[in-house]
Amino acid sequence: MPTQEFNFDGIVGPTHNYAGLSRGNIASTRHQRAVSSPKSAAIQGLRKMKFVRDLGIEQCVMPPLPRPNLDFLRRIGFAGTDAELIEQAYQADPVLLAVCYSASNMWSANAATVSPGSDCRDGRLHLTPANLTSNLHRSLEAVETTGILRSLFDDRSLFQVHDPLPATMAMSDEGAANHTRLGPSWDEPGIEFFVYGTEYFNATAPRPKKFPGRQTLQASQAIARRHLLDPDRSIFAQQNPAAIDAGVFHNDVIAVGHQNVLLCHEMSFHHQAATLEMLKARYTASFADELQIVSFSSAELPIHDAVSSYLFNSQILTRPDGTMVLVCPAECESIPTAKKCTERILQSNNPIEEVCFLDLRQSMNNGGGPACLRLRVVLNDRQQTGMHQRVRLTDELYNQLLQWVDQHYRDELAPDDLRDPQLMVENHAAMEQLG
């Protein structure tokens, strides 16, 4: 089995809802208190996984986390039976109830930063689960995600699943959403490109004014050290603070890279020209071919359209024949500027030969596009055999999951439905059956 990239997608959980919990994420704020459809959200996610699998690309699933997280409610001072905890939290502040019910681990790009074994000095695959300290609801994921990753990748001779970084602002880490691995092959060492929002200890460094920069340089550097990366092949760049203030809360909302391709916007990086020059130079020095960069100006794609279309949150995938496909959210087809950009991607010099558009509206309404829903994990032959096998998406598993969703998920979930203890009972039943 050749070394290849596996996509691990989070299955949307039965409590997918719109609580407006993520400051700086415009879609989340805009849809606060809207009625969600957990069933359609999960089906849209599963269809994307099947679509990728049918392209001949390895696809795996990550389970939803058990919700509500009642331990969280106990830790912040509520007490009593499960139903009492829920009612007390609702009375104190419905936001707290939304926090413990959030299905946010569906966005597995934020689950961890992953470095392929070929980039790491000890040859093992290294994963650092993200601490997600920027948002309360997301910070609850870290411990549980670490447990899941350790059970998926439990052979210590092949994999190293680190603890999340210390949960402090200085080490704020959002995982692979701010990390891109570039290089023509999966077997040779690649270039690891880390993008951060703030430089925590440097008070004079530019910062976003309105919204938080969720990834710090200090966190990215710590990950590079832990993963035993070659400093000559690790690049750190700052996100453009004005873009963060325009709603670009992760780098994967404004840039996407894969193998020898990088799609970006003129507002992607703080030192845009220098960052792109550095990437090109390091790439050419390391490999025989060149990095193909396709950059878009604000005139072609106003930052507002970049954020609402999520063009840069598309997945770039390599098919078994070596050609690439761009999997975009359906919004890229309906927003004319974004549609034109997809046409230019097809015309310009790069290996992307096909563009397709998928409906992921339920997740998009919370700020999660195709690339947010997947964690890329490059696995060699031994690692493919050594990882947990039941998560690989087969037609059989796909059909089982569709049936499971149909049986257990609600068609609609309104904000005040979280108060109904019956929702908890339904969730327990669903998770029990998933096993």
Indicate if 250 belongs to the active site: yes
Q: How far is the CB of 256 from ligand SUG (least distance, A)?
A: 11
Q: How far is the CB of 328 from ligand SUG (least distance, A)?
A: 15
User: Pseudo-torsion of CA 344, 346, 351, 354, nearest 10°?
Assistant: 140
Task: Give the tokens for residue 287.
Answer: 């490999």
Indicate if 290 belongs to the active site: no
Residue 193 phi/psi, 5-degree rounding, is -115, 115
Among 78, 101, 107, 159, binds ligand SUG (CB under 6 A): 107
Count of positions (residues) in the chain = 435
Query: Applying CB under 6 A, does 20 fall inside the site for ligand SUG?
Result: yes
Cβ partners under 8 Å of residue 426, min gap 6: 14, 408, 410
Query: Applying CB under 6 A, does 413 fall inside the site for ligand SUG?
Result: no
Query: Applying CB under 6 A, does 368 fall inside the site for ligand SUG?
Result: yes
Among 11, 65, 97, 177, binds ligand SUG (CB under 6 A): 177
Of 256 and 324, the one with the shorter C-beta distance to ligand SUG is 256
Site for ligand SUG in 241-270 (CB under 6 A): 249-250, 252-253
Indicate if 271 belongs to the active site: no
Q: Single out the segment in contact with ligand SUG by CB under 6 A; choices: 100-108, 236-244, 270-278, 352-360.
A: 100-108
Query: Applying CB under 6 A, does 372 fall inside the site for ligand SUG?
Result: yes
Site string for ligand SUG, 28-57 (x = CB under 6 A): x-----------------------------
Among 15, 44, 69, 110, binds ligand SUG (CB under 6 A): 110
Chain-centroid distance, C-alpha 377: 12
Q: Strands (DSSP E) along 283-383, which ranges?
A: 292-296, 315-318, 324-329, 352-358, 374-379
Sheet with 315-318: strands ordered across:
315-318, 324-329, 352-358
Q: How far is the CB of 67 from ligand SUG (least distance, A)?
A: 12
Residue 417 CB neighbour total at 10 angstroms = 16
Q: Which of 141, 174, 199, 331 is catalytic?
A: 174
Burial 171-201 (b: 16+ CB within 10 A, else e): bbbbbbbbbbbbbbebeebbbbbbbbbbbbe
> Which of 216, 227, 217 shows the shortest CA–CA distance to 378?
227
Count of residues binding ligand SUG (CB under 6 A)? 23
d(CA 244, CA 401): 36
- Residues with a catalytic annotation lie at 174, 250, 372
Which residues of the shown chain bind ligand SUG in the complex (CB under 6 A)?
Answer: 18-22, 25, 28, 102, 104, 107, 109-110, 135, 138, 177, 249-250, 252-253, 366-368, 372
